[in-house]
């Protein structure tokens, strides 16, 4: 997927995401180490991990996202290697203590086999005893919460109208977004269509175990609580 203009507005749209809690979650289990931030987007989380002292490598499939990430790292005087890679093909990367796939990035994969391959790639990238952290949308969020669209966002520089509809696959959603971004006093309009897919928790567990991981914890919604039927974001911590 090419994100184009979306990369330029991504950080504004994600400003309510508690990235610091994500870092705290990882640090509470693994306080240091060599970390691969897969699907890093514009690099917000990579930057925070680096500030905490982790040795960070950032990867993403989108050249546009990586351009923004590189600029972020340069402005912060951080030396973070950046790689353009798909999360289901990490091209033989190895030697990491930690792999993260954050903020529902895994849900952009378009088949169960891609998810399974991503788990295998993460496993191979980790040292023995390495740690794997990721989160996904719950089935409840995809099937119920997202179907309450349209959603509207209106800020000083950015506004959007966000429509959703079920995708062809079970537990999938199509996001159709129309953006209005202020440019030199005028608003430029552009459109984006994204598709996401998720799976029940027990399916993710099965695939993680097939890849060789042991499950350390499964929690929900940036808390230490186990998921319930109306949890919206599920957090997995697994170990090689």
CATH number, domain of 83, equals 3.40.50.150
User: CA-to-CA distance for 44 and 52, rounded, in angstroms?
Assistant: 13
Residue predicted with more confidence, 188 or 136: 136
Position 1 in a domain: no
User: pLDDT band at residue 17, thresholds of 50, 70 and 90?
Assistant: confident
Query: Are 53 and 126 found together in one domain?
Result: yes
Query: Are 152 and 188 found together in one domain?
Result: yes
Query: Are 218 and 102 found together in one domain?
Result: yes
- Note whether 36 and 99 are within 8 A (CB): yes
Instruction: State yes or no: cis peptide before 150, omega within 30 of 0.
Output: yes
For a pLDDT cut of 70, what percent of the chain falls above it?
Answer: 93
Per-residue tokens: 29? 């289990």
- How many residues are there in the chain? 240
pTM of the model: 0.91
pLDDT in tens, 173-210: 999 988 887 777 777 787 888 899 999 999 999 999 99
User: CA-to-CA distance for 5 and 12, rounded, in angstroms?
Assistant: 13
Does the pLDDT at position 114 exceed 50? yes
> What angle in degrees, to the nearest 10, is found between the helix axes of 19-29 and 44-51?
50
For a pLDDT cut of 90, what percent of the chain falls above it?
Answer: 75
Position 221 in a domain: yes
Does the pLDDT at position 227 exceed 70? yes
Bridge partners (DSSP) of residue 186 are 183
Does the pLDDT at position 216 exceed 60? yes
The CA dihedral of 89, 93, 96, 102, to the nearest 10 degrees, is -20
Phi-psi region of 139 (alpha: psi -120 to 50; beta: other; left: phi over 0): alpha
Bridge partners (DSSP) of residue 237 are 133, 217
Domain span at 161: 141-196
pLDDT in tens, 40-93: 998 999 999 999 999 999 999 989 889 989 999 999 999 999 999 999 999 999
Does the pLDDT at position 164 exceed 80? yes
Query: Are 150 and 46 found together in one domain?
Result: no
Query: Are 81 and 182 found together in one domain?
Result: no
How much is the mean pLDDT over the chain? 91
Instruction: Calculate mean pLDDT across residues 126-155.
Output: 94
What's the confidence (pLDDT) of residue 156? 76
Query: Are 10 and 94 found together in one domain?
Result: yes
Helices (H), the chain: 6-13, 19-29, 44-51, 63-75, 112-125, 139-143, 201-211
Residue 145 sits in a domain of what CATH number? 2.20.25.110
Query: Are 64 and 26 found together in one domain?
Result: yes
Instruction: Report which listed range, 10-14, 64-68, 223-227, is most confident.
Output: 223-227
Query: Are 63 and 171 found together in one domain?
Result: no
């Amino acid at each position: 997927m090419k994100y184009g203009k979306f990369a330029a507005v991504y950080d504004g749209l994600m400003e309510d995401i508690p990235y610091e809690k994500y870092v705290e979650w990882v640090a509470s289990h693994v306080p240091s180490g060599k970390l691969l931030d897969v699907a890093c987007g514009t690099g917000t989380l990579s930057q925070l991990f680096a500030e905490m002292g982790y040795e960070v490598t950032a990867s993403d499939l989108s050249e546009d996202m990586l351009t923004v990430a590189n600029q972020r790292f340069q402005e912060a005087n951080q030396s973070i290697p950046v790689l353009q890679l798909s999360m289901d093909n990490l091209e033989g990367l190895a030697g990491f203590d930690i792999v993260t796939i954050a903020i529902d990035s895994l849900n952009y994969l378009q088949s169960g086999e891609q998810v399974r391959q991503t788990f295998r790639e993460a496993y191979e990238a980790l040292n023995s005893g390495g740690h794997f952290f990721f989160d996904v949308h719950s089935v409840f969020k995809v099937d119920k919460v997202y179907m309450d669209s349209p959603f509207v966002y209106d800020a000083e520089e950015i506004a959007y109208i966000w429509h959703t509809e079920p995708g062809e696959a079970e537990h999938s959603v199509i996001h159709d977004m129309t953006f209005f971004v202020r440019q030199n006093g005028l608003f430029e309009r552009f459109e984006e269509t994204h598709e996401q897919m998720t799976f029940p928790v027990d399916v993710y567990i099965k695939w993680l175990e097939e890849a060789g991981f042991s499950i350390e914890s499964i929690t929900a919604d940036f808390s230490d609580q186990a998921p319930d039927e109306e949890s919206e974001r599920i957090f997995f911590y697994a170990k090689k």
